[in-house]
């Protein structure tokens, strides 16, 4: 059944900083509310805003966080564990780059870093429950992504074993989320092993079709891959539990295409844009999500290679609000209808 979604929400990760109002949860939520946002998605790795371990062990702290948000005029949409989820599975080629996502104590120690990430993910499940949330958002991590392009020829079984291992790592985590009544919406994203519909299906198979293995729908990554992001909703709507409203554009030239030639973000054929400045058909997206009964949050994830973030945030709230469809309670042609008369219906058909 069609449903009216919640929003607008704002993912705080790209705005948190060391200067007020971006350096504490009370001040950043008041700033967001002042722009018209009704919800905030909290990055759980940013200690300026949130203490994940404390939230996992203390419902009192969870209530405090909800109270801070309520005082500002917003509520928590989801907790984000993107950085921790990334570290559940890291190919050695990315070890040096991804160490920065973890505490110094586990740098240069992939096994310790992974153990830390798994514990963090489990904290995310318990913290979400303590905040009264039903969904969270994260990344899958990657073991196979360096072998994305099939040259040199991949050894037989490489991808199958990568996804089997990904499943082995995530299944126990998903079980903890199930125990706490929380879904993980994986952001389907290049750089992760789960980067499109086909790879999501492979991952879902690897975790035994786990009911808590779901999707954080972000059309920007699909547009840059030239994937049909509207048909994606038709196929996977039952698994979509979160939604990042994020824009992008793809302008291929005679010099570069999908891979964008190692250029800077400004000079790429495919680049992220502020909401409303790109090519994503949000009218179509909001219509399809509404049609299929998506009733959770529409959350702005701002990333743009041109526009100032504060301008992007200010423009994002009214853009999302304008696109949210308030579901009708009556059919447009009700005026022409009448009461049901079974005898009359049968007479119309000559029976």
DSSP 115-157: HHHHHHHHHHHHHHHHTT-SEEEE---BSSGGG-S--SPPPTT
Assess contact for 274 and 312: CB atoms under 8 A: yes
What CA–CA distance (Å, rounded) separates 91 from 299?
A: 30
270-273/247-250 β-pairing: antiparallel
For residue 330, pLDDT over 80 is answered with no
Length of the chain, please?
Answer: 351
For residue 335, pLDDT over 70 is answered with no
Q: Tell me the pLDDT band of 236, cut-offs 50, 70 and 90.
A: very high
Which tops the pLDDT comparison, 220 or 330?
Answer: 220
What CA–CA distance (Å, rounded) separates 317 from 329?
A: 25
**Structure tokens that stand for 18 in this block:** 């060391």
Q: What percentage of residues in the chain have a pLDDT greater than 70?
A: 98
pTM reported for the whole predicted model = 0.95
Q: What is the mean pLDDT of residues 303-322?
A: 98
Res 286: pLDDT: 98
Res 332: pLDDT: 67
For residue 238, pLDDT over 90 is answered with yes
Question: What contacts 163, CB < 8 A, 6 or more positions away?
Answer: 144, 193, 202, 203, 205, 206
Backbone angles phi, psi at 195, to 5 degrees: -125, -5
Assess contact for 242 and 295: CB atoms under 8 A: no
- Tokens 């743009």 belong to which residue? 304
Q: What is the mean pLDDT of residues 205-222?
A: 98
Averaged pLDDT score across all residues of the chain: 97
pLDDT tens-digit map of 12-64: 999 999 999 999 999 999 999 999 999 999 999 999 999 999 999 999 999 99
DSSP H/E element including 284: helix 282-291
**Structure tokens that stand for 283 in this block:** 């009218």
135-138/213-217 β-pairing: unpaired
Range with lowest mean pLDDT among 66-70, 75-79, 338-342: 338-342
For residue 329, pLDDT over 90 is answered with no
Res 336: pLDDT: 63
Res 54: pLDDT: 98
Q: What is the mean pLDDT of residues 314-335?
A: 88
Domains parsed from the chain with CATH numbers:
6-348 (3.20.20.150)
For residue 337, pLDDT over 80 is answered with no
Q: Tell me the pLDDT band of 339, cut-offs 50, 70 and 90.
A: confident
**Structure tokens that stand for 10 in this block:** 């704002």
Res 340: pLDDT: 78
Q: Tell me the pLDDT band of 328, cut-offs 50, 70 and 90.
A: confident
Res 245: pLDDT: 98
pLDDT tens-digit map of 121-169: 999 999 999 999 999 999 999 999 999 999 999 999 999 999 999 999 9
Question: What contacts 16, CB < 8 A, 6 or more positions away?
Answer: 22, 23, 28, 43, 46, 48, 49
């Amino acid at each position: 059944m069609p449903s009216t979604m919640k929003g607008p929400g704002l993912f705080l990760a790209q705005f948190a900083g060391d200067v007020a109002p971006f350096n504490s949860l009370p001040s950043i939520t008041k700033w967001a509310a002042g722009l018209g946002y009704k919800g905030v998605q909290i990055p759980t790795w940013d200690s300026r805003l949130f203490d994940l371990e404390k939230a996992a062990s203390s419902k009192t702290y969870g209530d405090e966080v909800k109270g801070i948000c309520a005082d500002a005029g917003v509520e928590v949409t989801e907790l984000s564990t993107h950085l921790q989820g990334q570290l559940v599975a890291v190919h050695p080629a990315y070890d040096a780059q991804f160490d920065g996502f973890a505490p110094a104590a586990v740098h240069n120690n992939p096994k310790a870093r992974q153990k830390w990430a798994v514990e963090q993910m489990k904290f995310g499940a318990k913290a979400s429950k303590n905040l009264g949330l039903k969904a969270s958002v994260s990344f899958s991590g990657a073991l196979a992504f360096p072998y994305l392009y099939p040259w040199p020829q991949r050894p037989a079984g490489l991808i199958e074993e990568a996804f089997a291992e990904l499943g082995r790592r995530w299944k126990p985590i998903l079980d903890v989320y199930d125990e706490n009544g929380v879904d993980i919406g994986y952001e389907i994203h290049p750089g992760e092993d789960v980067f499109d519909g086909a790879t999501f299906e492979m991952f879902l198979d690897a975790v035994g079709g786990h009911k808590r293995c779901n999707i954080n729908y972000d059309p920007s990554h699909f547009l840059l891959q030239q994937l049909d992001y509207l048909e994606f909703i038709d196929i996977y709507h039952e698994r979509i539990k979160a939604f990042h409203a994020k824009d992008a554009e793809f302008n291929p030239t005679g010099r570069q295409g999908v891979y964008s030639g190692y250029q800077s973000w400004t000079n790429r054929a495919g680049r992220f844009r502020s909401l409303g400045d790109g090519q994503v058909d949000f009218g179509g997206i909001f219509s399809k999500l509404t049609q299929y009964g998506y009733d959770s949050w529409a959350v702005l994830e701002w990333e743009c290679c041109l526009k100032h973030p504060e301008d992007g945030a200010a423009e994002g709230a009214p853009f999302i609000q304008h696109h949210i469809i308030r579901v009708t309670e009556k059919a447009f042609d009700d005026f022409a209808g009448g009461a049901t008369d079974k005898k009359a219906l049968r007479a119309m058909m000559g029976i």
